[in-house]
């Protein structure tokens, strides 16, 4: 292949030469360049910000530090709010619950207390009037619910979380019938002795789990040791 087309060396191709001659008429004819008397000055560009200050790694570091600080602050606030709802607060809440949520407790019915609570809930309905006029269906439903919920609720002592007050403690005149029915079905809070017992049971369960974990860990260590001894013995051979 002739290289004339590439670098004008070698034998020229007839058609290439003809095209060169023909198209050469359109070649650039350098005319004197009309430089203006004054070369227009470039618009002054604003000084760029120093790169050393705004580099990506620095920005990323600053962002992560800010995030860490925010997360720390949030955690502290959360812990503080948890601390305010400590045992004293819980005891107060429990006392409130004991005073306000027992009208349907089948385990410990109180003659007088039930009447006052019902009054508080139903805003002045008669002493013997229940929160909701009991129909036969409601009665059976209530029995089912109490049967299901008879299992006492475990107080969240481990997390020290405040317990929600039952709705009955905060009476609202505008609440619907179903809400009232739900309130009446709220199980009674456990007695202090019962709570202590449950806490003890929780502690025992936690100890058992820890003991089991310890045993598992020991077993794993023993197994690892055995494997190491075996491999060492094979290497010595």
Partner 1 sequence: MYNVEATGELLLSGHTQPTAPREAADERGQESALVEQVRAGDREAFGRLYARYGRLVHGILLARVPYGEVDDLVQDVFMTALRKIDTLRDTGSFGPWVAMIARNRAMDFHRRSRETTEVTEAVAQTRAEQREAVEVLNLIRQLPEAYREPMILRFIEGMTGPEIAERTGLQPASVRVNIHRGMKILRERLAGDAGKGQ
Q: Which helix (H) or strand (E) holds 91?
A: helix 87-100
Judged by CB under 8 A, which of 11, 42, 164, 234 binds partner 1? 42
Quick check: 39 binds partner 1 (CB under 8 A)? yes
Q: What is the DSSP letter of 24?
A: G
Judged by CB under 8 A, which of 40, 48, 50, 57 binds partner 1? 40
Q: Are 186 and 101 in contact (CB under 8 A)?
A: yes
Query: Distance from CA of residue 142 to its chain's centroid?
Result: 36
Judged by CB under 8 A, which of 11, 14, 33, 178 binds partner 1? 33
Quick check: 47 binds partner 1 (CB under 8 A)? no
Q: Write b or e for each residue in 153-185: b if 16 or more Cβ atoms lie within 10 A of its Cβ, otherwise e.
A: eebeeeeeeeeeebbbbeeeeeeeeeebbebbb
Taking the complex as a whole, the smallest distance from the CB of residue 10 to partner 1 amounts, in Å, to 11
For residues 200-219, which are near partner 1 according to CB under 8 A?
A: none
Q: Which helix (H) or strand (E) holds 90?
A: helix 87-100
Quick check: 26 binds partner 1 (CB under 8 A)? yes
Binding site for partner 1 (CB under 8 A): 1, 3, 5-8, 15-16, 19-20, 22-28, 30-31, 33-36, 39-40, 42
């Amino acid at each position: 292949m002739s290289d004339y087309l590439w670098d004008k060396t070698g034998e020229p191709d007839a058609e290439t030469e003809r095209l060169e001659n023909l198209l050469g008429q359109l070649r650039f004819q350098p005319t004197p360049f009309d430089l203006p008397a004054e070369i227009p000055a470039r618009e002054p560009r604003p000084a760029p910000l120093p790169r050393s200050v705004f580099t990506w790694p620095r920005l990323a570091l600053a962002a992560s530090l800010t995030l860490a600080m925010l997360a720390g602050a949030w955690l502290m606030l959360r812990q503080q709010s948890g601390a305010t709802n400590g045992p004293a607060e819980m005891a107060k809440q429990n006392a409130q619950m004991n005073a306000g949520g027992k009208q349907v407790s089948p385990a410990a019915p109180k003659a007088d207390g039930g009447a006052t609570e019902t009054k508080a809930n139903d805003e002045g309905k008669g002493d013997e009037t229940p929160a909701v006029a009991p129909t036969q269906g409601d009665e059976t439903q209530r029995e089912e619910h109490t049967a299901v919920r008879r299992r006492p609720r475990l107080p969240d002592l481990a997390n020290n979380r405040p317990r929600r007050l039952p709705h009955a403690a905060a009476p609202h005149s505008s609440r619907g019938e179903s809400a009232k029915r739900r309130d009446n079905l709220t199980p009674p809070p456990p007695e202090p002795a019962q709570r202590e017992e449950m806490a003890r049971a929780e502690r025992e369960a936690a100890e058992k789990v820890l003991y089991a974990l310890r045993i598992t860990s020991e077993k794993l260590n023993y197994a690892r040791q055995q494997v190491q001894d075996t491999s060492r013995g094979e290497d010595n051979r």
